[in-house]
Amino acid sequence: MKVEYLELEDVIELHDQALKDFGGIQGREPGKLEAKLALPMSGYGDFERYPSIEEKASVYLYEMASGHCFSDGNKRTSFLSTFTFLDLNGFDLVVEDEEVYRFVLSVANDKTRPPFEEVVLWIRKHTHKRFDIHANKE
């Protein structure tokens, strides 16, 4: 399966929409977002640092929520990016809004941030592969 990754423009658009919908201050740290967006693809040769879709999605959530790439809206953008990445790759993130809110807040907070492995488990628990009715049809 070929993985579809988020582009810089995708995340900036998600961020801008989040600010438009919920308010906040524009601005971002130059280079920081680009570095975070490269992480899910990291590896060398045949080795992938984050081989599963859930791990790659977790990198978006973990790194963007805690990495403060933007002046405002980091938590919203991290969740929207994670959700969009999963959607692009045929997965649904199925979780109640209140749980998302609490979990993303905990990931963004230096004092309550769970280990990365727990973020992967949370994503895995709430992620479901969509059934593709057109798969294997010629």
Cα–Cα distance measured from residue 21 to residue 11, given in angstroms and rounded to the nearest whole number: 15
The per-residue pLDDT of the chain, averaged, comes to 92
**Tens digits of per-residue pLDDT, 45-59?**
999 999 999 999 999
Is the per-residue pLDDT at 138 higher than 60? no
Cα–Cα distance measured from residue 30 to residue 37, given in angstroms and rounded to the nearest whole number: 13
Question: What value does the mean pLDDT take over residues 112-136?
Answer: 89
Decide if 76 contacts 22 (C-beta within 8 A): yes
Q: Quote the tokens at residue 42.
A: 């990291």
**Tens digits of per-residue pLDDT, 80-97?**
999 999 999 999 999 999
Provide the pLDDT for residue 24: 87
Provide the pLDDT for residue 59: 97
CATH superfamily for domain 8-42+50-129:
Fic/DOC protein, Fido domain (1.20.120.1870)
- Which sequence spans correspond to the domains of the chain? 8-42+50-129
Cα–Cα distance measured from residue 62 to residue 79, given in angstroms and rounded to the nearest whole number: 9
The band of 78, judged by pLDDT with boundaries at 50, 70 and 90, is very high
Decide if 12 contacts 69 (C-beta within 8 A): no
